[in-house]
């Protein structure tokens, strides 16, 4: 077995993006597609890809059996992709309670060609929805979530029924308590209902077509945003993050839905007072933090930590530059953040580790490991931050408390390095 | 005929086999001609959970994007990657190997000629990932490594008496730290010395030294015999269970000329390590073996080894056994899933796939033991072998503890506690006070027949009480078959 490495062998300050940091992009789509009740995904791909993606989906997505046609060189070169995929769709549609068969088309199938018109649109009660997510073109797993959700909404979103006034589709995978908190505060402002996507329910996807407004909480839902603009729905930018972010977001929802301005002001100000009380109770002043995950949500987390008093000189993410993330980037750069890196590579994060000597790192697994090898408290962004509240004042308290507690344990990280160096 | 369907793939591809075999050696650096996903899954996302390493460090992708797929080809990207790795110093003292992936093969990127123009000695390995599975893949990689880096430098090398190679462990071999530790112990016990553990504890530069061993022990029946065949010395497979391990130690002693030491090791093991099996066999635990059924889905070595030990030696019923790669009559995952949905055995050794099928079936009476990848599990402790004498003890110990747990879960808990949590309705009076129609009894018997033997007593009592409680609620005078079916449905049995 590999010995425990004490120092990173990676050359530092290297300008080249040699080791890109993203999960397999397609994983983002499989995660949300496998979690929908009554959804039985079919994957069109080679066995190596199928093995790896099924592995991570069974870890992070759902306890769900996954079907695929055999696509080896014999099948790919003889054009049996469609025939095989159709057979897999038929088998998936026979699963008890099946209402949706997402067909996830990956690198080799996309290279060989997967003609949508040759796949069924419906088998029995099940809608068949093609989701094209070749890793070579999608580049990051957050963006694949957007691709999948857009495909689902285009097919399933109900555009025939009456529009539901004052109903907001809140898009973004968030901690369940966050979803409840966001729903509650919007209702207090006069919103009639929220629909949280991606979620577990096909009915929610259908109903989402009738909603009046879209609120993408994360900056990579560009396809979904485009779709709602096509549908003529209002889109609220930003997210209820931190003091200023939450205040602006609530006001913007109020304006978009033409809610009672006095009531919106009252709720937004109450929430701002609560958030200020959270900051007064616990500060991260003096802590230097690098936020370097690959979930596409890093800028928002950095923003919260900066409001809490931390210094965040460097933020990196797997997603590409997009107007949706520009407000957070400008906000951060006006408050001391020196670098915001998109489509990042391990080399860039390692250079930042040298340059900024942080007190805490939230990163990918290779990068968090490198920081721990230097005795710096570090955690895997994906696992640790997704599993606690983040939005509104309640989320601020949880996130700031988590970072503060980790900083208090810093001694253990140094002791561990010392132990293994002896 | 459309292409065969795959349900929850059990075996990965030749590309994974190549990376997981080559990167086990620290003086290798691999460039994978791969899109970002094939890099992330193989180097980080999966080995995080199979081998418990934060990532595989000696691997870099050439990161195929739209341009490369769209006609440009991957040569320039591979060269760029090479140049920058070289400049960074990451290749100092390393043998560089460029590996193809399913996607690079799909776009026809044979880089043999490109690679020849990179640094001297750089090799290209065609992983044949669109056709070859991980088992054939590992076997071929090991042979290729010997051909490229071993044989040319091993001319004239003679086997040293008393020395043994262990061929097998790579990344992604379930439980290999424990099994390896036990196989080493058995070899030393039989009078041998370890020459090389290849590839996991070797360097690429060690490869020629494979020729210096008198005997080769191949850890897995799935792969590795090809390399052992090329080395030409006598070969033994790593053993499972008490009898096979005894034969292994005896044969190894004979081959090494250390029979006396081997025999005294066997005798000592029977008095010490294996005493636990003897004691459990003589004790009340052993009585359960004959009525306990087991399903096995794992690598071929594990499947055959567990079936021989648990089935032939201990007399357990083997409900089904399916090896990876599958042997001609082994059930596929679709069939295994149907079997587990219908009736799960008391114990299932398997991967996360079988664990999911048990979850789907709500099979709360079956106990699951991780015995194969895929599936996240940490197996870095060296005290949990399945192979060898210690494996024989560990496996039987796990089974007995599993039986204890199953029993515990069916002992009654005072209902006041579950009522406090809003649990099942209180059962008012003792069972046996209402008459059961013959048909109703038959329905109950049929349901109980599907349960593993151990929890049947407790489950039958529990069900009887539930049915009668339902009958009282409805003021029925007799238990009817429909009532039993209703109670069964709500109890999930």
The three state secondary structure string of A348-386 is HHHHHHHHHCCCEEEECHHHHHHHHHCCCCEEEHHHHHC
Confirm or reject contact between A90 and chain B (CB < 8 A): no
Is there a contact between B2 and A67 if contact means CB atoms under 8 Å apart?
A: no
The helix-helix angle for A298-307 and A392-408 (nearest 10°) equals 80
Is there a contact between A50 and B6 if contact means CB atoms under 8 Å apart?
A: yes
Question: Which of B49, B69, B130 lies at the smallest CB-CB distance from A59?
Answer: B49
For B103, the 3-state DSSP assignment is: helix
Summarised one tens digit per residue, pLDDT across range A183-192 is 999 999 999 9
The helix-helix angle for B241-256 and B176-189 (nearest 10°) equals 50
Q: The tokens of A364 are what? A: 């990918």
Question: Which of A49, A75, A368 lies at the smallest CB-CB distance from B38?
Answer: A49
Q: Which residues of A touch B355 (CB under 8 A)?
A: 63
Residue pair B167/B198 in contact (Cβ under 8 Å)? The answer is: yes
Q: For A90, which residue in chain B has the nearest alpha carbon? A: B5
Q: Which residues of A touch B15 (CB under 8 A)?
A: 48
Q: Which H helix or E strand runs over A242?
A: helix A242-256
- Residue B434 banded pLDDT, cuts 50, 70, 90: confident
Q: How far apart are CA A275 and CA A271, in angstroms?
A: 6
- Among residues B202, B29, B337, the alpha carbon closest in space to that of A91 is found at B337
Q: Which residues of B touch A63 (CB under 8 A)?
A: 355-356, 359-360
Residue pair A140/A296 in contact (Cβ under 8 Å)? The answer is: yes
Question: Which of B4, B36, B106 lies at the smallest CB-CB distance from A108?
Answer: B106
For B121, the 3-state DSSP assignment is: coil
Q: What is the structure's pLDDT at B440? A: 86
Q: Residue A9: how many CB atoms within 10 A of its CB?
A: 12
Q: For A67, which residue in chain B has the nearest alpha carbon? A: B7
Q: Which residues of A touch B170 (CB under 8 A)?
A: none
Question: Which of B37, B46, B61 lies at the smallest CB-CB distance from A55?
Answer: B46
Query: Among all chains, which residue has been given the structure tokens 């739209």?
Result: B66
Is there a contact between A51 and B12 if contact means CB atoms under 8 Å apart?
A: yes
Give the A window 142-171 contacts with B, CB below 8 Å: none
Is there a contact between B37 and A107 if contact means CB atoms under 8 Å apart?
A: yes
Is there a contact between A135 and B38 if contact means CB atoms under 8 Å apart?
A: yes
Question: Which of A1, A11, A76 lies at the smallest CB-CB distance from B380?
Answer: A1
Determine the residue among A16, A51, A345 to mutate to test chain B binding: the one whose Cβ has the most chain B Cβ atoms within 10 Å: A51
Residue pair B274/B393 in contact (Cβ under 8 Å)? The answer is: yes
Is there a contact between B88 and A16 if contact means CB atoms under 8 Å apart?
A: yes
- What is the 3-state composition of chain A as percent helix, strand, coil, each rounded to the nearest 5? 50, 15, 35
Looking at chain B, how many residues does it have? 493
Question: Which of A54, A136, A366 lies at the smallest CB-CB distance from B9?
Answer: A54
Confirm or reject contact between A68 and chain B (CB < 8 A): yes
Q: What is the structure's pLDDT at A11? A: 39
Tell me the β-bridge partners of A379.
A362
Summarised one tens digit per residue, pLDDT across range B357-376 is 999 998 888 999 999 999 99
Residue pair A90/A123 in contact (Cβ under 8 Å)? The answer is: yes
Residue pair A387/A345 in contact (Cβ under 8 Å)? The answer is: no
Question: Which of B3, B49, B352 lies at the smallest CB-CB distance from A84?
Answer: B3
Question: Which of B37, B85, B131 lies at the smallest CB-CB distance from A24?
Answer: B37
Q: For B26, which residue in chain A has the nearest alpha carbon? A: A2
Is there a contact between B53 and A2 if contact means CB atoms under 8 Å apart?
A: yes
Residues of chain A with pLDDT under 50: 1-14
Is there a contact between B12 and A86 if contact means CB atoms under 8 Å apart?
A: no
β pairing state of A164-171 and A193-197: parallel
Determine the residue among B20, B47, B54 to mutate to test chain A binding: the one whose Cβ has the most chain A Cβ atoms within 10 Å: B54
> Does B294 score more than 50 pLDDT?
yes
Is there a contact between A52 and B51 if contact means CB atoms under 8 Å apart?
A: no
Q: What is the structure's pLDDT at B430? A: 55
| pLDDT over 90, % of chain B | 77
Question: Which of B2, B7, B15 lies at the smallest CB-CB distance from A84?
Answer: B2
Q: The tokens of A249 are what? A: 């977001």
Is cis: bond before B374, omega within 30 of 0? yes
Which residues fall within 8 angstroms of residue A291, CB to CB, at 6 or more apart?
A: A298, A299, A301, A302, A305, A312, A314, A315, A316, A362, A381
Q: Residue A363: how many CB atoms within 10 A of its CB?
A: 29
The number of C-beta contacts closer than 8 angstroms across A and B is 215
Q: For B172, which residue in chain A has the nearest alpha carbon? A: A1
Q: How far apart are CA B309 and CA B293, in angstroms?
A: 13
Question: Which of A20, A27, A136 lies at the smallest CB-CB distance from B69?
Answer: A136
Q: For A372, which residue in chain B has the nearest alpha carbon? A: B54
Residue pair B463/B488 in contact (Cβ under 8 Å)? The answer is: yes
DSSP structure string for A84-127: HHHHHHHHHHTSTT--EEEEEE-HHHHHH---GGGS-SEETTEE
Is there a contact between B356 and A20 if contact means CB atoms under 8 Å apart?
A: no
User: Per mean pLDDT, which range of B55-64, B102-111, B425-434 is the poorest?
Assistant: B425-434
Is there a contact between B374 and A55 if contact means CB atoms under 8 Å apart?
A: yes
Is there a contact between A87 and B81 if contact means CB atoms under 8 Å apart?
A: no
Q: Which residues of B touch A23 (CB under 8 A)?
A: 37, 40-41, 45
Q: Is the ipTM of this complex over 0.90?
A: yes
Is there a contact between B37 and A80 if contact means CB atoms under 8 Å apart?
A: no
């Amino acid at each position: 077995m590999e010995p425990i490495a004490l120092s990173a062998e990676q050359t530092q300050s290297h300008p080249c993006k040699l080791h890109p940091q993203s999960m397999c992009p397609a994983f983002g789509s499989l995660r949300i597609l496998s979690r929908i009740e009554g959804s039985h995904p079919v994957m069109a791909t080679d066995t190596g890809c199928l093995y790896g993606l099924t592995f991570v989906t069974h870890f992070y997505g759902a306890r769900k059996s996954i079907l695929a046609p055999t696509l080896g060189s014999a099948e790919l070169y003889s054009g049996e992709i469609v025939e095989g995929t159709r057979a897999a769709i038929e088998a998936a549609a026979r699963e008890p309670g099946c209402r949706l068969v997402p067909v996830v088309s990956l690198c080799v199938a996309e290279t060989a060609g997967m003609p949508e018109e040759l796949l069924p649109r419906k088998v029995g009660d099940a809608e068949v929805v093609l989701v094209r997510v070749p890793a070579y073109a999608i580049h990051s797993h957050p963006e694949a979530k957007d691709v999948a959700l857009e495909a689902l909404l285009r097919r399933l979103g109900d555009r025939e029924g009456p529009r539901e006034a004052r109903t907001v589709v809140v898009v973004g995978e968030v901690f369940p308590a966050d979803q409840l908190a966001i729903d509650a505060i919007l209702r207090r402002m006069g919103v009639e209902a929220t629909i949280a996507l991606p979620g577990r329910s096909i009915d929610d996807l259908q109903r989402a077509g009738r909603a009046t407004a879209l609120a993408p909480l994360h900056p990579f839902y560009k396809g979904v945003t485009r779709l709602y603009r096509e549908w003529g729905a209002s889109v609220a930018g930003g997210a209820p993050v931190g003091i200023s972010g939450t205040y602006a977001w609530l006001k913007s929802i109020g304006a978009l839905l033409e809610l009672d301005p006095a009531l919106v002001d009252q709720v937004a100000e109450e929430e701002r007072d609560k958030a200020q009380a959270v900051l007064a109770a616990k500060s991260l002043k003096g802590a230097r933090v690098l936020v370097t995950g690959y979930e596409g949500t890093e800028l928002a987390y950095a923003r919260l930590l900066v409001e809490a008093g931390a210094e965040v000189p460097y933020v990196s993410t797997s997603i590409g530059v997009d107007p949706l993330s520009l407000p957070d980037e400008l906000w951060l750069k006006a408050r001391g953040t020196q670098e915001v890196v998109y489509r990042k590579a391990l080399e860039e994060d390692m250079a930042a580790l040298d340059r900024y000597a942080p007190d805490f790192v939230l990163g990918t697994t290779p990068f968090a490991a490198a920081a721990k090898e230097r005795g710096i408290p570090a955690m895997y962004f994906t696992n640790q931050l997704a599993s606690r509240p983040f939005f509104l004042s309640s989320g601020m308290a949880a996130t700031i408390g988590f970072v503060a507690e980790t900083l208090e344990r810093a001694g253990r990280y140094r002791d561990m390095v010392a132990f293994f160096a002896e | 005929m459309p292409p065969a369907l795959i349900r929850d793939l059990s075996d990965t591809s030749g590309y994974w086999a190549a990376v997981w075999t080559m990167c086990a050696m620290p003086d290798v650096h691999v460039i994978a001609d791969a899109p970002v996903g094939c890099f992330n899954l193989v180097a980080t996302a999966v080995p995080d959970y199979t081998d418990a390493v934060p990532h595989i460090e000696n691997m870099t992708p050439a990161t195929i994007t739209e341009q490369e797929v769209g006609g440009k080809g991957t040569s320039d990207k591979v060269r760029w990657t090479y140049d920058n790795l070289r400049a960074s110093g990451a290749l100092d003292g390393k043998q560089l190997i460029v590996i193809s992936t399913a996607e690079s093969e799909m776009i026809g990127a044979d880089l043999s000629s490109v690679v020849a123009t990179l640094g001297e000695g750089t090799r290209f390995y065609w992983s044949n990932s669109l056709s070859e599975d991980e088992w054939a893949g590992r076997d071929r990689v090991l042979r290729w490594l010997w051909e490229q880096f071993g044989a040319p430098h091993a001319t004239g090398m003679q086997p040293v008496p008393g020395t043994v190679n262990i061929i097998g462990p790579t990344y992604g071999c379930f439980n290999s730290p424990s099994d390896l530790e036990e196989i080493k112990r058995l070899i030393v016990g039989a009078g041998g010395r370890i020459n090389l553990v290849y590839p996991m504890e070797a360097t690429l530069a060690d490869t020629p030294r494979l020729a210096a061993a008198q005997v080769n022990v191949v850890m897995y029946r799935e792969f590795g015999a090809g390399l052992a065949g090329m080395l030409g010395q006598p070969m033994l497979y790593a053993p499972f269970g008490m009898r096979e391990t005894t034969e292994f130690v005896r044969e190894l002693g004979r081959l090494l000329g250390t029979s006396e030491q081997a025999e005294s090791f066997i005798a000592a093991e029977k008095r010490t390590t294996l005493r636990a099996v003897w004691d459990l066999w003589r004790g009340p635990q052993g009585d359960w073996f004959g009525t306990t059924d087991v399903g096995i889905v794992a690598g071929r070595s594990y499947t055959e080894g567990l079936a021989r030990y648990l089935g032939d030696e201990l007399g357990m019923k083997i409900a089904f056994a399916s090896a990876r790669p599958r042997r001609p009559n082994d059930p596929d995952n679709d069939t295994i899933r149907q079997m587990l949905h219908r009736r799960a055995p008391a114990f299932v050794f398997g991967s996360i796939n079988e664990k999911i099928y048990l979850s789907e079936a709500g099979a709360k009476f079956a106990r699951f033991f991780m015995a194969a990848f895929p599936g996240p599990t940490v197996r870095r402790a060296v005290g949990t072998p399945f192979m060898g004498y210690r494996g024989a003890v560990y496996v039987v110990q796990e089974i007995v503890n599993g039986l204890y747990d199953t029993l515990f879960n069916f002992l009654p808990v005072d209902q006041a506690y579950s009522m406090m949590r809003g649990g099942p309705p209180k059962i008012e009076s003792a069972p046996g006070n209402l008459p059961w129609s013959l048909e109703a009894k038959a329905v109950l018997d049929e349901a109980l027949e599907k349960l593993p033997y151990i929890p049947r007593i407790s489950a039958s009592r529990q069900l009887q009480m539930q049915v009668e409680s339902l009958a009282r609620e409805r003021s029925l005078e007799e238990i009817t078959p429909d009532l039993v079916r209703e109670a069964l449905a709500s109890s999930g049995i």
